[in-house]
Amino acid sequence: MPDAQILVVDDEPDILSVLVYHLSREGYRVTTAVNGQGALTSAEAEQPDLIILDLMLPGMDGYEVLQRLRGAESTSSMPVILLTARREEDERVRGFEVGADDYITKPFSARELTLRVEALLRRSKAEPVSTSRRVTVGPVVLDREAHRVFSEGVEVDLTRLEYRLLEVMLERRGRVQTRRQLLQAVWDTNAAIETRTVDMHVARLRTKLGNAASLLETVRGIGYRFRALDK
Amino acid sequence: MPDAQILVVDDEPDILSVLVYHLSREGYRVTTAVNGQGALTSAEAEQPDLIILDLMLPGMDGYEVLQRLRGAESTSSMPVILLTARREEDERVRGFEVGADDYITKPFSARELTLRVEALLRRSKAEPVSTSRRVTVGPVVLDREAHRVFSEGVEVDLTRLEYRLLEVMLERRGRVQTRRQLLQAVWDTNAAIETRTVDMHVARLRTKLGNAASLLETVRGIGYRFRALDK
DNA sequence: TCGACCCGTGACGAACTCGTGACAGTTCCC
DNA sequence: GGGAACTGTCACGAGTTCGTCACGGGTCGA
């Protein structure tokens, strides 16, 4: 975390200054933007290590900013924490679907802020999630070449969908995946499948993973997340 | 990894030069090609130790290049790293299916590049896959010179296709092979053959292998795999 | 020409996989 | 504390996949 640069985007001066204050005190370099256009420009130009983005902005709202960030090559994998007053699940779901990495609801404590910032920075530094023929997360090993999976050293026998589901969850470890996202990633095209079916497969996968099942966490109201274990 | 020769295939001058720069600096001999035809020719002529292949090429694209490499005897087991900007899963899956050994997504760091190159060279050196006169995996011995096969010390009499199928499975032991891959490897050219026919030959091969048949595993929904018994 | 062998395909049953409804357990909010 | 929303688990039927059998066409040598 030392010397990381953070872009804070918020149009309310009060909140902006609170954010800047806390983050600066923790030793981060902070830059700011007060609207969507400025956010995009700064993100592109300064390549910050993390962005904190308010959803409610004049003109272009947070979703659109996020969507555009994800669309551009140079910012597509930039860690983003969404900031919102709304507790609505729909909002959060939409946020994760558009590609948010984490979420903070107002009002928030300084401690919550820094914890989330640290966690996200650590995570994105840990692994430039890329595709290799073998993925290891804690006690879980997935070997793409052999198409085999081990949990705590023991081979586990997975069906095609279970394997695929695990593969996706491991690749996107640390990030919440909505049921819809999982459907899209695991079940090819927009299959006409109940989102509840995902739960079923998660359950089956968990029983087969044994003790490691606890790493596959439920995020109530949103979806699932495979815990990212930093080394 | 000292003195290994690498063939880099990319039509974009910028990326090509970056690749050449980094690889040369690491001490590799580097040759280049800017399109599919040139890649095939160079691979054939220079027998590089590794190929880095961009997916997006003018004319013949990376998949086709890879497919042709895998189809020709002298290049069929050449280690290939695919290079792509696309993060899509489909692309990756397709890449592995066609026979890529690894994958790098743009943008990549110099470090990631050299790590993957080293890993792959090390790996392919470790298992001198092809053209050794004799392949032994557990109780199964295939003697290329004598064109004979033994299972648990007993000679087994195989037909031409059975022999070829076993040979391919042994060469690629530990890796899942889809029916399509097997068709391509065993039945030369894109024969118009039902994929189910592969099953039939696997079954025939199994009965002849006796107890060793259990090493030739079915991976439901995917294909087959010969269990790798590591020394 | 004939028989022996090899090979590709269709058919079919067994085993497995998967999606869904139902219901119980849990969590969250008021 | 009570109710609503959400999640875990069970059971079951439909669909898929795979192993095996049977058969017919093709090839090759005698």
3-state SS class at A184: helix
Cross-chain residue pair B92–A131, CB shorter than 8 Å: yes
Q: Cα-flanking dihedrals φ and ψ of residue B223, to 5°?
A: 175, -135
The reply to whether A231 falls in a domain is no
3-state SS class at B150: strand
Instruction: Say whether both B42 and B146 belong to one domain.
Output: no
- Which of residues 165 to 204 on A have a Cβ less than 7 angstroms from any strand D atom? 196, 199-200, 202-203
Instruction: Say whether both B170 and B70 belong to one domain.
Output: no
Number of Cβ pairs < 8 A linking chain A and chain B: 40
Residue B32: both structure tokens together: 């280049």
Query: How many residues are listed for chain B in this entry?
Result: 231
> CA torsion, points A132, B229, B129, B92, in degrees to nearest 10?
-20
Question: What is the number of domains present in chain A?
Answer: 2
What's the distance, Cα to Cα, between the start and end of chain B in Å? Answer: 23
Residues A195/A180, Cβ–Cβ less than 8 Å: yes
Instruction: Say whether both B187 and B75 belong to one domain.
Output: no
Give pLDDT tens digits for B103-128. 787 777 777 788 888 888 877 765 55
Residue B207: both structure tokens together: 């009965």
Q: Which residues pair with A80 in a beta bridge?
A: A51
Residue B184: both structure tokens together: 């391509």
Q: Which residue has the higher pLDDT, A194 or A51?
A: A51
Average pLDDT over residues A80-102: 75
Task: Report chain A residues whose CB lies below 8 A from the CB of B89.
Answer: 168, 185
Instruction: Say whether both B108 and B187 belong to one domain.
Output: no
Say whether pLDDT at A207 is over 70: yes
The reply to whether A46 falls in a domain is yes
Give the separation between CA A10 and CA A33, rounded to whole angstroms.
Answer: 7
Instruction: Say whether both A96 and A33 belong to one domain.
Output: yes
Task: Give Cα A165 to chain centroid, integer Å.
Answer: 17
Question: Among B174, B152, B151, B153, which residue's Cα sits nearest to residue B163?
Answer: B151
Q: Please identify, among B84, B100, B126, the residue that sits at the C-terminal boundary of a domain.
A: B126
User: Using the CB atom, is residue A220 less than 7 Å from strand D?
Assistant: yes
The reply to whether B42 falls in a domain is yes
DSSP A53: E
* Of B102-111, B202-211, B219-228, the least confident: B102-111
Instruction: Say whether both B121 and B11 belong to one domain.
Output: yes
Q: What pLDDT score was predicted for residue B230? A: 53
State the nucleotide closest to A204 in CA–C1' terms. Answer: D9
Instruction: Say whether both A13 and A93 belong to one domain.
Output: yes
The pLDDT-based confidence of A76 (bands split at 50, 70, 90) is: confident
Give the separation between CA A56 and CA A90, rounded to whole angstroms.
Answer: 15
The reply to whether A39 falls in a domain is yes
Q: Please identify, among A84, A102, A126, the residue that sits at the C-terminal boundary of a domain.
A: A126
Q: Which residue has the higher pLDDT, A103 or A191?
A: A103
Instruction: Say whether both B114 and B138 belong to one domain.
Output: no
Contacts (Cβ under 8 Å, ≥6 apart) of B114 = B22, B23, B26
Residue A170: both structure tokens together: 């491991």
Instruction: Say whether both A37 and A108 belong to one domain.
Output: yes
Instruction: Say whether both B156 and B84 belong to one domain.
Output: no
Q: Which chain D positions come under 7 Å from a protein C-beta?
A: 6-11, 17-22
Residue A101 belongs to domain spanning: 5-126
* Of A157-166, A218-227, B87-96, the least confident: B87-96
The C-alpha of B91 sits at a distance from chain A's nearest C-alpha, in angstroms, of: 11
Output the domain CATH number for residue A183.
Answer: 1.10.10.10
Share of chain B above pLDDT 90, in %: 16
Instruction: Say whether both B29 and B87 belong to one domain.
Output: yes
Cross-chain residue pair A147–B220, CB shorter than 8 Å: no
The reply to whether B231 falls in a domain is no
Output the domain CATH number for residue A41.
Answer: 3.40.50.2300
The reply to whether A139 falls in a domain is yes
Give pLDDT tens digits for B77-100. 788 998 877 555 555 555 566 667
Instruction: Say whether both A115 and A152 belong to one domain.
Output: no
Q: Which residues pair with A154 in a beta bridge?
A: A151
Residues A141/A167, Cβ–Cβ less than 8 Å: no
